[in-house]
Amino acid sequence: MAVISLDGVGRQFETSAGVVDALADVDLHVEEGELVVVLGPSGCGKTTLLNLVGALDAPTSGRLAVAGHDLTGISGGDLYRYRRHTVSFVFQNFNLFPGLTALENVRFGADVAGRRQGEAVAEEVLAKVGLAERATHFPAQLSGGEQQRVAIARALATGNPVLLADEPTGELDFHTGVQILGLLEAQAEAGRAVLVVTHNREISRMADRVVELSGGRVVSDGPPAGGRAPAGSLRW
Amino acid sequence: MARLGLWLRWSLRDLRARWLQVAAIAVVIGLGTGAYVGLSSSSAWRHDSAAASYQELASHDLRVDLAKGTTVDADRLRAALRATEHPGWIEATTVRLLVPVQVDASRDGEPLLVSGRLVGVQLDGPGGPAVDALWSRSGRALGPSDDGRPVVVLDDHFAAEHDLRGEQELTLGGSVAVTSVGSAISPEYFVVAGDGATAGFFGARTFATMWTSLATAQEVAGLPGAADQAGVLVAPGADVAAVQAELEAALAAALPDAAVTVTPLTEQREYRRIFDDIDGDQKLFDVFALLVLGGAAFAAFNLVGRVVEAQRREIGIGMSLGVPRRSLAVRPLLFALEVSLAGVVLGVAVGWWFGTALAGLVERVLPTPVWDTAFQPAIYVRGVLLALALTFLAASWPVWRAVRVTPVEAIQVGPRATRGGGLAPLVSRLHLPGGSLGQMPVRDALRRPRRTLLTALAIAAAVGLLVGVLGILDSFVATVDAADVELSGTSPERVTATFESFEPADGPTVRAVGESAEVGRVAPFLRVGGELAAVDGRERFEALVDLLPLDDAVWRPGLVAGSYDHDRPGVLIAQKAANDLGVGVGDDVVLRHPVREGTGYRWEESALPVLGVHRDVYRGLVFMDLADASLMNLDGIVNAAQVAPVEGATHEDLQRSLFGLQGVAAVVPAGAFIEAVRSGFQQIMGVLQLVEVVALVLAVLIAFNSSSISSDERAREHATMVAFGVAPRTVVGLTMVESALVGAVATVIGLGLGAALLGWLIHVLLPSTLPDVQLDLAISPRTFLLAAGMGVVAVGLAPLLTLRRVRRMSVPDTLRAVE
Ligand SMILES: Nc1ncnc2c1ncn2[C@@H]1O[C@H](COP(=O)(O)OP(=O)(O)O)[C@@H](O)[C@H]1O
Ligand SMILES: [Mg+2]
């Protein structure tokens, strides 16, 4: 059974200039252990899609369920519980807490998800992204790539089954971006459902599956064109 | 020009985007400006009102007094007043007879027996005399038909104090029944008068002035046709000094055997006191005005600074596009100017409210017929310009700072935009309970130490102001309590009976008092008026000298230094007097005192050692041993007695019992003095309560605004937390903890500031405003609690006001917004 399943999902925005169809009639299913990249130009609806899955926003039409939770009519306490225990986010601009150290930022993920031994979990996860020796550094003392790794560690520390990453490589150079995507891929292999958004077609070649969006609609869904490429063969 | 239009539109858009914060800053500036103009304009209208009130009641410009205890024929006095060289310089005159009387105003078994004065006046004006008219406050005024009738009008201060307005039956001198038909105020009695020696010491409670027709006064005094005082109204344009000289000459010629003095109104004590008070109050008000304005300017600086900081990136973008700094500064400066303008406009309204409230207060304490609290354009313009300049300058500094950074710094985004951890690394090893969330409040507070400190300082300023204001109130209360404890002492129910005249210590009045019911112990003593001065004559003030049988008194003052024992005459003076005169026990002071000579008195100055320093708060209270009355040639003579009731009886029983006793002029409970001290503080207390309200509102607004701005600045962090499933109330709870922490620091600083301010006020400023009273610095637990309550609780709760905003925050939009 798919962990993430969207059936005919649409999201309309009412603006003073009229109604904007950010997403229309989207069908998308992501399995456990699968890394799916959503690809498309700016403004095609990628972030909107991710926000729906993360329950930061609600669809105006269609059905949406994640890990057995029907998100169509979710509200109140369930909403926060869902966010704490089901999904976790990695953002384009990291959004680390500047007042907390790298380790504490990671620990935040474990804490909100209510995991026991948050400290140990955080240390373990931070080591997994290769930043054990930067534990006491504050975000401002880290490079962009390191900050994003901390952000990923924070998302992983929640232990939640669904990982959502919105342009996680957008702020980074190509090489660092590939590293980051490698990390995400490893998460999928470890059994999570990973949904990554990017506008970078080259990077999307690392995925099992690429869903292409255009004007809020899915225009293609399948393995990357030319087949899945190992990280080393990607070129900028 | 088109450029300026763009900047203007843009800055107005900034205003609109942050309207709530802008409104809060404007209110802060408005309160500061308003309190400033309201307080600083008060002396102008009080001066004007007092002057206009004197004019309204046709107050005399010159007063003619006969030597105490002497009179002349009223017609001869009138004729003499008309016999000046230039009668045209005099517009009108009036003659009076002042009769000291004992007034029994007891009602329904409530004994009230006080000294008083019956003033016989010419009833030739609409509400009594044409010169020194009576301003009717209750009941009816005196008219021509009251001539010779036993009808009086009571001084309104006394009437109000004892609830004697309207019609009352009074008994004068034990036997003359008169009807009080109303109450009124006369220009000479704008401030409460006493009878010379005790003037100003006991206030409105214990001295009753009454007006009646000249004929009635003459009859009560048994002096038909007599007068002993005249008021002279100088014609417009005439020179008062010249008229005074002519009057002196005319009176000397017409009344060669009478000792007459002519005093200009402007040299009369009551008149001077009004204007001195206004100036003294103004000094105090100015301090508070500046403090409030300074606090508001600081808050404005702080808040505008943070708004400007939010524009840093835009400023940096502008820089990198080659826009000169000058131009970049235009938008935030316009913003600052607009905020300041909105503030001062509001300030004019607040100032008007403040002024009105102040006028109400002053009027209650010092009622006069004219209250011209007219808007004082000059002062308002000055105040508003000052406030505008101050707040604008305060707001400009952060602008200057913002445009000084390099474009690279300003536009940094992403990895570096989060800036350093500030002082947070200092505590990165300190782990507070509560996991990662538990660390956030302290970390966030320390992350921007400069900003946190500024916010804390702004709140501290308000807390300090509050502590200063409440501290003065506490100190007043402590002073009154101390006076109460000291004066009540071992015999709280005692009364002081003052006699109508001097008599031997075993004279008939003393005996009669001793034989009255309810009387336990009687200690006759001598009370005279005088002056206390430093040996070098530099400091000098009025004194009330009580010569008590120190070894055998019903009550004697407690001493903080020295002793009652002595082998030569000396004085016990108040701590405040000792400080002001710069003397201690054993040093000499100069006492100006009367000396009996034949049937009259002359004044003499004697250098006397300070035997001891007593605990009373009033500096004019001087005590001597009755055995030293020889200094005044009054051995064995007394004019008053301390009377203690028998076991179980109260001062009221005593008053009732001594009531109407032959030779007793007044019976005053020990507590009356406390009332006088208390009422002396009344006006300042009222003003302080106004300032207190302003300080409270300021602190809450500052706290609200800084948490509102914080919540804007942290929107992204908050959105991130919400995206991870942290509930808005937890998010706001964290900011509340942070705010409370900042508030706690602010409270500590504020308490320090407040104590320093209070020390300065009590030790430096108030002694010149309230020279007669010794104030001891006191801060009550209630003040501590209120300051802490405001600084920690109110400030800690302020973020709650942003809860709604966090709840309604659109997480996607907040996260999307790439700064
Ligand atoms: N809150 C909103 N109000 C109006 N339109 C929106 C809103 N959010 C997104 N849109 C519109 O929806 C479309 C898709 O936006 P988004 O999902 O952010 O695109 P992407 O992430 O692919 O760049 C865009 O045209 C955008 O303008
Ligand atoms: Mg996007």
Closest CA to B479 of B576, B545, B562: B576
Choose, out of B448, B724, B737, the residue to mutate when testing the contact with A (most A CBs < 10 Å).
B724
The values of phi and psi at residue B314, to 5°, are: -60, -40
A47 Cβ inside 6 Å of ligand 1: yes
Is the predicted pLDDT of residue A144 greater than 80, yes or no? yes
Instruction: Tell me what pLDDT residue B414 has.
Output: 40
B123 and B151 both lie in a single domain: yes
Instruction: Tell me what pLDDT residue B425 has.
Output: 62
Q: What does the pLDDT look like over A154-195, one tens digit per residue?
A: 999 999 999 999 988 887 888 888 888 888 888 888 899 999
Residue B234: band (very low, low, confident or very high) from pLDDT cuts 50, 70, 90: very high
- Residue B44 burial (10 A CB sphere; 0-12, 13-18, 19+): middle
Region class of B225: left (phi > 0), else alpha (psi between -120 and 50), else beta: left
Residue A236: band (very low, low, confident or very high) from pLDDT cuts 50, 70, 90: low
Output the six-digit token pair for A51: 């926000």
Instruction: Tell me what pLDDT residue B407 has.
Output: 65
Output the six-digit token pair for B330: 């235009």
Instruction: Tell me what pLDDT residue B31 has.
Output: 86
B690 and B809 both lie in a single domain: yes
Measured between its terminal Cα atoms, the distance across chain A in Å is 36
B725 and B812 both lie in a single domain: yes
Q: How far is CA B207 from CA B142, B171, B482, in A?
A: 21, 14, 24
Please tell me whether residue B129 adopts helix, strand or coil conformation.
coil
Amino acid type, B208: A
B213 and B337 both lie in a single domain: no
Per DSSP (E only), the strands in chain A are: 4-15, 18-30, 35-39, 61-66, 69-70, 87-90, 162-166, 193-198, 209-214, 217-222
Chain B contact residues (CB < 8 Å to A): 413-416, 418-421, 424-425, 428-429, 435-437, 439-440, 443-444, 446-447, 716-717, 719-727, 811-812, 815-816, 818
Instruction: Tell me what pLDDT residue B416 has.
Output: 42
Instruction: Tell me what pLDDT residue B43 has.
Output: 84
Span B15-38, mean pLDDT? Answer: 84
d(CA B482, CA B474) in angstroms, rounded, equals 12
B350 and B302 both lie in a single domain: yes
Instruction: Tell me what pLDDT residue B427 has.
Output: 60
In this structure, is residue B372 part of a structural domain? yes
Residue B198: band (very low, low, confident or very high) from pLDDT cuts 50, 70, 90: very low
Mutation probe of ligand 1 site: the residue of A9, A11, A12, A44 with most atoms within 8 A of C-beta = A44
B111 and B221 both lie in a single domain: yes
Can you give the pTM of this predicted structure? 0.77
Rounded to the nearest integer, the mean pLDDT of chain B is 84
Closest CA to B398 of B533, B499, B305: B305
Residues B620, B541 contacting (CB under 8 angstroms): yes
> Among B228, B258, B288, which residue terminates a domain?
B258
In this structure, is residue B266 part of a structural domain? no
B197 and B300 both lie in a single domain: no
For chain B, what is the domain count?
4
Query: Is A144's CB within 8 Å of B446's CB?
Result: no
Instruction: Tell me what pLDDT residue B605 has.
Output: 93
Ligand 2 centroid, distance to B308 Cα (angstroms) = 29
Of B422 and B462, more confident:
B462
Measured between its terminal Cα atoms, the distance across chain B in Å is 30
In this structure, is residue B413 part of a structural domain? no
Nearest ligand to the C-alpha atom of residue A48: 1
d(CA B178, CA B170) in angstroms, rounded, equals 5
Span B189-197, mean pLDDT? Answer: 59
Instruction: Tell me what pLDDT residue B819 has.
Output: 38
Least confident of A90-104, B485-499, B527-541, B583-597: B485-499
Give helix B269-310 / helix B672-713 axis angle, nearest 10°: 10
Query: Is A95's CB within 8 Å of B720's CB?
Result: yes
d(CA A151, CA A175) in angstroms, rounded, equals 18
Q: Collect all residues of chain B within an 8 Å Cβ-Cβ radius of residue A97.
A: 440, 717, 720
Q: What does the pLDDT look like over B42-77, one tens digit per residue?
A: 888 888 888 889 988 999 999 999 987 789 999 999
d(CA B619, CA B400) in angstroms, rounded, equals 54
Is the predicted pLDDT of residue B215 greater than 90, yes or no? yes
B373 and B473 both lie in a single domain: no
Is the predicted pLDDT of residue B196 greater than 50, yes or no? no
Q: What does the pLDDT look like over A74-125, one tens digit per residue?
A: 877 888 899 999 999 998 888 898 888 899 999 999 998 988 888 899 999 9
d(CA B311, CA B331) in angstroms, rounded, equals 10
Interior/surface letters B333-346, b for 16+ CB within 10 angstroms, e for the rest: bbbbbbbbbbbbbb
Long-range contacts of B645-649 (CB under 8 A, 24+ apart): B645/B493, B645/B494, B645/B518, B645/B519, B645/B520, B646/B518, B646/B519, B646/B520, B647/B520, B649/B493, B649/B518, B649/B520
Is the predicted pLDDT of residue B353 greater than 90, yes or no? no
Atom of ligand 1 nearest to the CA of A167: 21
Residues B497, B519 contacting (CB under 8 angstroms): no
Of B490 and A42, more confident:
A42
In this structure, is residue B269 part of a structural domain? no
Instruction: Tell me what pLDDT residue B197 has.
Output: 41
B708 and B660 both lie in a single domain: no
Query: Is A111's CB within 8 Å of B716's CB?
Result: no
Residues A57, A231 contacting (CB under 8 angstroms): no
Token look-up 């990136």 returns B313
In this structure, is residue B551 part of a structural domain? yes
Rounded to the nearest integer, the mean pLDDT of chain A is 89
Least confident of B150-154, B426-430, B569-573: B426-430
Residue B310: band (very low, low, confident or very high) from pLDDT cuts 50, 70, 90: confident
Q: Collect all residues of chain A within an 8 Å Cβ-Cβ radius of residue B818.
A: 92-93
Is the predicted pLDDT of residue B799 greater than 70, yes or no? yes
| Min Cα–Cα distance to chain B from A19, Å | 17
Q: What does the pLDDT look like over B604-624, one tens digit per residue?
A: 999 999 999 998 888 888 999
d(CA B783, CA B758) in angstroms, rounded, equals 12
Residue B426: band (very low, low, confident or very high) from pLDDT cuts 50, 70, 90: low
B552 and B646 both lie in a single domain: yes
Is the predicted pLDDT of residue B627 greater than 80, yes or no? yes
Closest CA to A178 of A168, A188, A165, A192: A168
Is the predicted pLDDT of residue B404 greater than 90, yes or no? no
Is the predicted pLDDT of residue B703 greater than 80, yes or no? no
A22 Cβ inside 6 Å of ligand 1: yes
Is the predicted pLDDT of residue B680 greater than 80, yes or no? no
Query: Of the segments A38-52, B184-198, B672-686, B762-776, which one has the largest average pLDDT value?
Result: A38-52
d(CA B353, CA B38) in angstroms, rounded, equals 8
Q: Which residues pair with B640 in a beta bridge?
A: B498, B525
Q: What is the tally of helices (H) and strands (E) in chain A? A: 7, 10
- Residue B488 burial (10 A CB sphere; 0-12, 13-18, 19+): middle
B595 and B694 both lie in a single domain: no
Closest CA to B65 of B202, B228, B218: B228
Q: What does the pLDDT look like over B99-135, one tens digit per residue?
A: 888 888 888 777 787 778 899 999 987 778 989 999 9
Q: What does the pLDDT look like over A192-225, one tens digit per residue?
A: 999 999 988 888 888 889 999 999 999 999 998 8
| Min Cα–Cα distance to chain A from B21, Å | 25
Nearest ligand to the C-alpha atom of residue A13: 1
Least confident of A214-223, B274-283, B349-358, B403-412: B403-412
Percent of chain B whose pLDDT exceeds 90: 27
Query: CB neighbours of B627 closer than 8 A, spacing ≥ 6?
Result: B549
B85 and B179 both lie in a single domain: yes
The domain of B325 spans 1-60+275-405
Output the six-digit token pair for B778: 């006191």
Of B431 and B26, more confident:
B26
Pair type for strands B113-121 and B260-264: unpaired
Is the predicted pLDDT of residue B199 greater than 60, yes or no? no
In this structure, is residue B47 part of a structural domain? yes
Percent of chain A whose pLDDT exceeds 90: 53
In this structure, is residue B234 part of a structural domain? yes
Token look-up 């108030």 returns B766
Percent of chain A whose pLDDT exceeds 70: 98
In this structure, is residue B267 part of a structural domain? no
Residues B238, B61 contacting (CB under 8 angstroms): no
Span B564-584, mean pLDDT? Answer: 91
Token look-up 């502008």 returns B318
